[in-house]
Amino acid sequence: MTTEEDADLDAVVAGVRERVDPAPEERERLTEAVDALTERVQEALADHDVTADVVQVGSTARGTWLAGDRDIDLFVRFPDELPREDLERLGLVVGRQVLPDGHEEFAEHPYVKGEFEGFDVDLVPCYDVPAATDIRSAVDRTPFHNAYLLDRLDDDLAGDVRVFKRFLKGIGVYGSDLRTKGFSGYLSELLVLEYGGFEPLLRAAADWQPPVEHDPEDHGTRTFDDPLVVVDPTDPERNVAAVLSADNVARLQHYARDLLADPREELFFPPERDRLSAEELEGHLDRRGTLPLAVAFDAPDVVEDQLYPQLEKSLHGVVAELDRRGFEPLRAASFASEGEDQPFDRAVLFVEVAIAELPKIQRHNGPPVHVRQHATGFYETYADSDVYGPFVDGDRYVVERDREFTTPESLLESDALFDVALGAQVKQQLKAEYEVLVGDDVVALTERFGVELRDYFDPTP
Amino acid sequence: MTTEEDADLDAVVAGVRERVDPAPEERERLTEAVDALTERVQEALADHDVTADVVQVGSTARGTWLAGDRDIDLFVRFPDELPREDLERLGLVVGRQVLPDGHEEFAEHPYVKGEFEGFDVDLVPCYDVPAATDIRSAVDRTPFHNAYLLDRLDDDLAGDVRVFKRFLKGIGVYGSDLRTKGFSGYLSELLVLEYGGFEPLLRAAADWQPPVEHDPEDHGTRTFDDPLVVVDPTDPERNVAAVLSADNVARLQHYARDLLADPREELFFPPERDRLSAEELEGHLDRRGTLPLAVAFDAPDVVEDQLYPQLEKSLHGVVAELDRRGFEPLRAASFASEGEDQPFDRAVLFVEVAIAELPKIQRHNGPPVHVRQHATGFYETYADSDVYGPFVDGDRYVVERDREFTTPESLLESDALFDVALGAQVKQQLKAEYEVLVGDDVVALTERFGVELRDYFDPTP
């Protein structure tokens, strides 16, 4: 890396910071909103006979949010001895009082989400436990994360966190939701802290040899089977990067090298990709010579973190069965379109196979002829049936008998689909209704899933 | 096995013996012919200044030939000290004198083959060595085999040898030539001797658990990796069943059980099978839904024992390459038709594949992204080329790039055919000329190879 390239990277980072650093007015408005909300919560609490404090958490609490993000996370910490029913009830009562136009959402317990002076506010009840290892629900851990980072992130590092998070967003690996399986905000901040800034983190990531292990507090008590391990500074048993996929580690490595070799803001702010058109899809099918198949159905009424693991499991089940039946899946993906009355509308298991048709017969190996009882049983089973053989090959009997499914669509259209491992609610939906699209029929999917199909047929690292 | 079934088997064996035991007149004519030939050989030897004796060997020497077989094998044993050139020269001179209308053939050295009073006579020169372990050429061993069996086979056992040989012929596993890889005459006789008759041999074979090992003289000095081992009573280093294939061991086991369960002469004298007609072949192709392919070429001018190993090697090479390229060979066979001016005329490598067409692209896995130098090299190789990707899958780069052969016939029609392991002279012939038949075109093969195609498409154990 020459000095000139260093200068290029510095200039790019400076350019990115200009776009992601919140302006003073934005910070001011945020502080005012948080103060007003905190006061409202305390007033609401005063109406009920309970002591609790209010903690602001999340990126807006630590100055690591990206300009324009408008999320305020306020946690109301109730005493440890409060029964869970009371915590849930009081959490909602206070939430509704503070955000009268808000609505309930559900994580490990219910909380209230609403708008306040242009900000999206989460008002979450949690327990005030002595340490992160004593938590009663996952949300209890958040204030500890918050405190740990607040103590360590100065303005410089907070700025680098914003650059790193923008980079992760740009390359598509930001977010610990179960669809993305990327880097959470907390993980991003710990990594910047661990490496002392964006650029050293970038250079290190370019050279990572997974498994890469960090234990900032040097207190880890177990081993993890993950490509990246960052032991939670507030919990020695927990890998902060547990959700992160190997793919996304590799992607960060790829783009870190790319950015170092050719620094450019475009990697932080990639242009939106066009939807794949029907004509483009047809062109790809022609160019590839594969057979695409799609199982399309109404998405179950569940949130993203429930839907995507089920789609993934179902897709894996379908791919494994197509493989076992000899159709050689080449690549596969699942899609879901946003719904109006429920989170998702229509879902698709999309598989491209190499083999469009198999022979009517298939080889079936019998036992070695010398295993007399077993062999005689096999021979007698097939001797008078409509198969080729039994004949001898090596030391075994062999027959060529009818194959159950000669095309992949006949498999997908049969009840055999329900014998594969499917997500529970996906299975329910499929049992009610589904459609199999084959070959050029999949062109119809470009209407709903043009963006996803662009990613599939014009894949980037 | 009930007494009734025993009686059935006895009756079948008696019926077979009636058909395979040579009549007294046949025995008499044979003895006369052998005597006359022996006298002629001795007269011829007298013209040359060398002492040698004449030994009758083979099944006609031991009374184990099947009625109607007309082979007389006479070995002329020359002194051990005679130079090889002299043995070869004298062997031919004597041979031509005794059989003036005969012709030369070649085993390990030349000998004369001719007709005499309706018998096919082999007149073979060999060395008179002190023991079978001192032989200078394979033919020197034969007189020792002959002496060993003559000492031990009485008329009863000789009769059982005839029945066993007829059984082996009936089920298609008789002959140690490299096409059949079956039971030699010598092996058949040793087995009948070892088990004390046809029926005990049959019952034992039905229960064999290969590897089955016999060492009649209990003098074996090495181990063998063969399904059946019979240590040569005249040579502790040699397995008489070395050529026998696992398939043929299994076939003997199958048909031994079949004969015991349902004794019938038909197994000894099966009806000749009809040639497969063009219509029948088309019916099979339709029923099977496979793609048949044939590489047809002029057979090299070599004898059976040279041709078949080369065809087998070539077929194996072609099948392995079709498999490696993703076309999933289902079954394969090689055929050769008899020639007029040379042993064989036209030869065919016949392969049935499950996959008639593959996509234009194929997946190609690159290195793990974290192996930086290697991974960067891979990425740069493909980044600007006409492939899908590189994209990340798991921890690796992957591309989907053009497949070289999308149909099996395009592979067989290309020079890639010459990169597979082929028999040397088969390769020469293919380089000069060959034809690829695909799909229904193979119907043309029924003209020359109707019998072989019957065995292929109506396979028996």
C-beta separation of B337 from B311 below 8 A: no
Distance of CA A127 to the CA centre of its chain: 28
- Contact call for residues B112 and B97 (beta carbons, < 8 A): no
Shortest Cα distance, chain A CAs vs residue B42, angstroms: 49
For chain A, what percent of residues have pLDDT higher than 90? 93
Residue B425 Cα, gap to closest chain A Cα (Å): 27
Is pLDDT above 60 for A219?
yes
For chain B, what is the mean pLDDT? 95
Asked whether the CA dihedral A381, A384, A385, A388 is positive or negative, the reply is: positive
Q: Can you tell me the distance from the alpha carbon of A240 to that of A248, in angstroms, rounded to the nearest whole number?
A: 15
The predicted model gives A182-198 an average pLDDT of 97
- Residues B224-242 have pLDDT tens digits of 999 999 999 999 999 999 9
HSE (side-chain half, CA atoms, 13 Å) at B452: 19
Rounded mean pLDDT of chain A?
95
**Residue B192 pLDDT grade (very low, low, confident, very high; cuts 50, 70, 90):** very high
User: Which secondary-structure segment (H or E) carries A413?
Assistant: none
CB A94 within 8 A of CB A125: yes
- pLDDT score of A132: 86
Helix (H, G, I), strand (E, B) or coil at B244: coil
- Exposure on the CB side of residue A437, measured as CA atoms within 13 A: 18
The tens digit of pLDDT for each residue in A120-132 reads 999 999 999 998 8
pLDDT at A3: 67
CB contact under 8 A, B461 and A390: yes
Through-space distance between the first and last CA atoms of chain A, rounded to whole angstroms: 23
* Residue A2: band (very low, low, confident or very high) from pLDDT cuts 50, 70, 90: low
Q: From CA B88, how far away is CA B85, in angstroms rounded?
A: 5
Rounded average pLDDT over A359-376: 98
Q: State phi, psi for B393 to the nearest 5 degrees.
A: -135, 120
Percentage of chain B beyond pLDDT 70 is 99
Tell whether residue A137 is among the known ligand binding residues.
no
By mean pLDDT, which of A374-383, B82-91, B186-195, B299-308 is the weakest?
B82-91
- Contact of A141 with A235, CB cutoff 8 Å: yes
Average pLDDT of span A192-207 = 98
The β-bridge partners of B41 are none
Whether the pLDDT of residue B147 is over 90: the answer is yes
The label of the residue with tokens 């007309």 reads B70
Cβ–Cβ < 8 Å for B232, B239: yes
Helices (H), strands (E): how many in chain A? 15, 15
Reply yes or no on whether the pLDDT at B1 is more than 60.
Answer: no
Q: How far is residue A438's CA from residue B194's CA, in Å, rounded to a whole number? A: 65
Distances (CA, A) of B275 to B37, B301, B347: 41, 26, 17
CA distance B210 to chain A (A): 7
Cα separation, B253 vs B277, whole angstroms: 31
Q: Give the whole-angstrom CA distance, residue A434 versus residue A414.
A: 11
Nearest by Cα to B168 from B74, B284, B268: B268
Contacts of A207 in chain B (CB under 8 A): 372
Q: Which chain A residues are closer than 8 Å to B385 by Cβ?
A: none
- B170: pLDDT strictly greater than 90: yes
pLDDT band with cut points at 50, 70 and 90 for residue B214: very high
B222 touches chain A (CB under 8 A): no
Asked if A418 has any chain B CB less than 8 Å from its own CB, the reply is: no
Both tokens assigned to A304: 């993203």
Please tell me whether residue B168 adopts helix, strand or coil conformation.
helix
Please check whether residue B461 touches A, CB under 8 A.
yes
Question: Cis ω on the peptide bond leading into residue A359 (within 30° of 0)?
Answer: no
Task: Assign residue B239 a region (left: φ > 0; alpha: ψ between -120 and 50; beta: otherwise).
Answer: beta
Contact B347, B311 (CB under 8 A): yes
Q: Please, how many CA atoms are within 13 Å of residue B20, restricted to the half-sphere of its CB?
A: 26
Q: Which residues of B touch A326 (CB under 8 A)?
A: 328, 354
d(CA B281, CA B259): 31
Q: Is A329 on the interface with B (CB under 8 A)?
A: no
Taking residues A312-334, report their average pLDDT: 98
Sorted by where each starts, the structural domains of chain A and their CATH numbers stand as: 22-142 (3.30.460.10), 153-267 (1.10.1410.30), 278-357+406-457 (3.30.70.590), 361-402 (no CATH)
Q: What's the rounded mean pLDDT across residues B133-158? A: 93
User: Which chain A residues are Cβ-neighbours of B457 within 8 angstroms?
Assistant: 388
Average pLDDT over residues B84-104: 92
B376 touches chain A (CB under 8 A): yes
Predicted confidence (pLDDT) at residue A362 exceeds the cutoff of 60: yes
CA gap A275, A453 in Å, rounded: 8
Measured CA to CA, the distance from residue A257 to residue B378 in angstroms comes to: 14
Asked if the C-beta of B372 comes within 8 angstroms of chain A's C-beta atoms, the answer is yes
CB B389 within 8 A of CB B398: yes
Residues of B in contact with A256 (CB under 8 A): none
**In this structure, which amino acid lies at residue B284?**
H
ipTM exceeds 0.95: no
Q: What count of CB pairs under 8 Å joins A to B?
A: 138
Contact B111, B125 (CB under 8 A): yes
CA torsion angle B220 B224 B229 B230 (round to 10): -30
Phi then psi dihedrals of residue A335, to 5 deg? -130, 155
Considering only CB atoms, B369 lies closest to which of A253, A361, A370, namely A253
Compute the distance between CA of residue A164 and CA of residue A195 in angstroms, rounded to an integer.
12
From chain B, pick out residues whose CB is under 8 angstroms from the CB of A389: 459, 461
Instruction: For residues B182-202, give the mean pLDDT.
Output: 98
Q: Is A337 assigned a ligand-binding role in the annotation?
A: no
pLDDT the model gives residue B199: 97
Nearest Cα to Cα of residue B44 among B85, B113, B96, B106: B96
Shortest CA distance to B291 belongs to which of B459, B395, B407? B407
